[in-house]
Amino acid sequence: MASLIRSWIPLLILQSFLVAIAFGSKEAEEFSEALLLKPLPDRKVLAHFHFENRAPPSNSHGRHHHLFPKAISQLVQKFRVKEMELSFTQGRWNHEHWGGFDPLSSMNAKPVGVELWAVFDVPQSQVDTSWKNLTHALSGLFCASINFLESSTSYAAPTWGFGTNSDKLRYGSLPREAVCTENLTPWLKLLPCRDKDGISALMNRPSVYRGFYHSQRLHLSTVESGQEGLGSGIVLEQTLTVVLQPETTSVETNMQPSWSLSSLFGRKVVGSCVLAKSSNVYLQLEGRLGHESKNVDTEIEAHKLWKNADFDLSLKPDRVLRESSSLLFIFDIDKSSDSEPFDLGLTWKLPSKWSCQQAPLQATRFLMGSGNERGAIAILLKATESQEKLPGRVVTDGRCTIKANIFQIFPWYVKVYYHTLQIFVDQQQKTDCEVLKKINVSPSTDKVSSGMLEMMLELPCEVKSAAISIEYDKGFLHIDEYPPDANQGFDIPSALISFPSHHASLDFQEELSKSPLLSSFKEKSLVRSYTEVLLVPLTTPDFSMPYNVITITCTIFALYFGSLLNVLRRRIGEEERFLKSQAGKKTFGLKQLLSRLTAKIRGRPIEPPSSDSPAAQSSFLSSKLIFKIILVAGAAAAWQYFSTDN
């Protein structure tokens, strides 16, 4: 138990403080929080939580921290991680309605399950070891089975198809991973205020997990200090994106539902996290600008922006920013308190309709063929409506083209025949050299590594649809390699379609404050979209079969062996004579049976009646019976002994 102490040491060298070495630069660790709300065209609301934690360059990373999570910093130090992204996602991003050409969707639309990629700062030969150790550490940190990415059959090393060009990059995903609160809680632990205070207090678990889509993401990158002898800084970005359906009472179907923070989350914000440098709530309205004036100079006009004929905001925004097609209302939640909680609400007055900007091509992926032997995978790219308006077309040799990168990992038990790759553009088959600019294939090795396909397509601008198909054989797994519930099928991870010549960014011309959320929007991000996860049914054996086979074959062998032995020692002549004599004494049959019965009741050996031989035979018979009983009892006793022993 605890005991108490008295201090004793008469202290201690004050001058040693003077000698204390310089404490790096005096820059401190910084934390900021933000929430972006955005009504979606299909009557849903997107909420995007954004937390950023910056640790300045220092030599004491992994040892002394004030705001930055020590665990993450130690991870970076130990595994020499240069950049890493981990996402947990449930649900599928609806590219058609929720947008595909803005920074939000290109960064936060993630494949189902867990996706992890990391770039290491170690020699090429140690990258795989670092990756394996990292997966184990993350798996412990986030209570998830990320450690399954350790095996070389589940990750790949993309060269250029992923977007980040580095030979020290590793990528892996687990489509089957179920994401729930046990993953969110350790993620929240990394925030200085956790979900006790500030914007993160909104994360009411039932309402977050009731949504249509949620994706929690952790992105960290190291920033080189550039100074000699000084370590590098770390930027940790944590985001949670949820798409919620506000409860609506309105009967009108074309009317957008009105909502407030408390109706969406069941909670209100009662103040900012005191440790945050900035904590803001943003409301982004898209497609609102056609009929409004471009400059917001006067107070009345600004007022008009948030209380007008279309909609009403329950709180006055602190500032309003505008971009080419959207309005951004900024609210500072520092002023809210326990008595006056921040509860932003949006009330629609008139039916309103808008659409989101979409990626140039919309990708879907499906399986073809039937049976448990072979099949084909097809990726279909369809042109979207907004394709013509988008920038980023490349005109080469007088032709206007769209570039699309396809990055796909195949597990080894899906044995892809790369020569069967076929590309159709507008239903017409094209030879490879016409549209395929670049291809990188690394075939899979059975039970050792997964296959990887990277393709760069250059499609004409006026393309309506493009399809890629590739055939495969289904492999057989060893009985140990089947996962539990193998009959459900095996998942092929999502393919990543990215458009290298298209970059999404939102620039609100904001110079006043350096909001991390807005500056991350401002950065040009690669437009990318993930396809569906495919479920491939493989032949699954009956797992109790080995025992059945053993039992049946053994029984047949035993039967054969026993009858062979019996045949070998048969005496046919003697048996015939015995049968003949038996036939002669048929009248004594009943008597003999009786005498045997009485002998058995008395428990004595049969007294020799008129004839000797049947008596001798019967006594032999009874001893045989006793022997059999003893044998069975012995076997039972032995069984009992061994089974209780273990």
Amino acid type, 161: G
**Token digits for 151?**
């095996």
Which one of 373, 544, 547, 584 is in contact with another protein (CB under 8 A)? 547
Q: Which is nearer to another protein, 338 or 373 (CB)?
A: 338
**Token digits for 533?**
């996860």
Position 297 contacts another protein (CB under 8 A): no
Q: Which residues, listed in sequence order, are joined to residue 458 by a DSSP beta bridge? A: 403
**Burial environment of residue 627 by CB neighbours within 10 A (0 to 12, 13 to 18, 19 or more):** exposed
Residues 6+ apart with CB under 8 A from 397: none
Q: By CB under 8 A, which span of 86-94, 270-278, 299-307, 482-490 interacts with another protein?
A: 270-278
Report 413-472 residues binding another protein (CB under 8 A): none
Q: How far apart are CB 271 and another protein at their closest, in Å?
A: 7
Distance from C-alpha of 307 to C-alpha of 320, rounded to nearest angstrom: 13
Q: How far apart are CB 333 and another protein at their closest, in Å?
A: 13
Report 568-587 residues binding another protein (CB under 8 A): 568-574, 577
Q: By CB under 8 A, which span of 15-23, 209-217, 226-234, 598-606 interacts with another protein?
A: 15-23
Q: How far apart are CB 205 and another protein at their closest, in Å?
A: 16
Q: Which is nearer to another protein, 385 or 575 (CB)?
A: 575
Buried b (16+ CB within 10 A) or exposed e, 267-296: bbbbbbbebbbbbbbbbbbbebeeeeeeeb
- How many CB atoms are located within 10 Å of the residue 442 CB? 16
**Token digits for 521?**
């929007």
Q: How far apart are CB 636 and another protein at their closest, in Å?
A: 12
Position 11 contacts another protein (CB under 8 A): yes
Position 23 contacts another protein (CB under 8 A): yes
Q: Which is nearer to another protein, 5 or 512 (CB)?
A: 5
Q: How far apart are CB 11 and another protein at their closest, in Å?
A: 6
Q: Which is nearer to another protein, 366 or 627 (CB)?
A: 627
Q: Which is nearer to another protein, 350 or 629 (CB)?
A: 629
Position 21 contacts another protein (CB under 8 A): yes
Position 366 contacts another protein (CB under 8 A): no
Position 614 contacts another protein (CB under 8 A): no
Which one of 178, 350, 400, 565 is in contact with another protein (CB under 8 A)? 565
**Burial environment of residue 47 by CB neighbours within 10 A (0 to 12, 13 to 18, 19 or more):** buried
Position 551 contacts another protein (CB under 8 A): yes
Q: How far apart are CB 153 and another protein at their closest, in Å?
A: 21
Which one of 177, 197, 237, 454 is in contact with another protein (CB under 8 A)? 197
Q: By CB under 8 A, which span of 58-66, 212-220, 240-248, 430-438 interacts with another protein?
A: 58-66
Closest residue by Cα to residue 404 from 418, 423, 421: 423
Q: Which residues, listed in sequence order, are joined to residue 535 by a DSSP beta bridge? A: 491
Which one of 223, 274, 479, 637 is in contact with another protein (CB under 8 A)? 274
Residue tagged 């990394």 (tokens): 190
Which one of 43, 80, 97, 194 is in contact with another protein (CB under 8 A)? 194
Q: Which residues, listed in sequence order, are joined to residue 173 by a DSSP beta bridge? A: 115
CB–CB of 167/124 below 8 Å? yes
**Which whole-number Å values give the CA distances from 235 to 70, 84, 106, 109, 474, in the listed order?**
13, 11, 20, 21, 43
Q: Which is nearer to another protein, 189 or 415 (CB)?
A: 189
Q: Which is nearer to another protein, 11 or 395 (CB)?
A: 11
**Token digits for 63?**
């040892």
Q: Which is nearer to another protein, 21 or 583 (CB)?
A: 21
Pairing type for strands 534-536 and 490-492 reads antiparallel
Closest residue by Cα to residue 57 from 271, 229, 185: 229
Q: How far apart are CB 479 and another protein at their closest, in Å?
A: 13
Residues 6+ apart with CB under 8 A from 324: 289
Which one of 441, 558, 594, 637 is in contact with another protein (CB under 8 A)? 558
- The CA-based diameter of the chain, rounded to the nearest angstrom, is 135
Q: Which is nearer to another protein, 303 or 570 (CB)?
A: 570
The site for another protein, by CB under 8 A, has a size of 77
Report 519-538 residues binding another protein (CB under 8 A): none
Residue tagged 């296959």 (tokens): 451
Which one of 441, 535, 559, 579 is in contact with another protein (CB under 8 A)? 559
Which one of 6, 419, 580, 586 is in contact with another protein (CB under 8 A)? 6
CB–CB of 92/179 below 8 Å? no
Q: Which is nearer to another protein, 552 or 594 (CB)?
A: 552
Q: How far apart are CB 21 and another protein at their closest, in Å?
A: 6
Q: Which is nearer to another protein, 433 or 642 (CB)?
A: 642
Which one of 43, 189, 382, 585 is in contact with another protein (CB under 8 A)? 189
Position 646 contacts another protein (CB under 8 A): yes
Q: How far apart are CB 58 and another protein at their closest, in Å?
A: 9
Distance from C-alpha of 572 to C-alpha of 578, rounded to nearest angstrom: 10
Q: What mask of x and - would describe binding to another protein in positions 59 to 98, judged by CB under 8 A?
A: -x-xxxxxx-xxx--xx-xx--------------------
Q: Which is nearer to another protein, 192 or 360 (CB)?
A: 192
Distance from C-alpha of 245 to C-alpha of 257, rounded to nearest angstrom: 9
Amino acid type, 47: A
CB–CB of 217/85 below 8 Å? yes
Distance from C-alpha of 145 to C-alpha of 117, rounded to nearest angstrom: 15
Tell me the DSSP string of 570-590.
--HHHHHHHHHHHHHTGGGHH
Q: Which is nearer to another protein, 74 or 260 (CB)?
A: 74
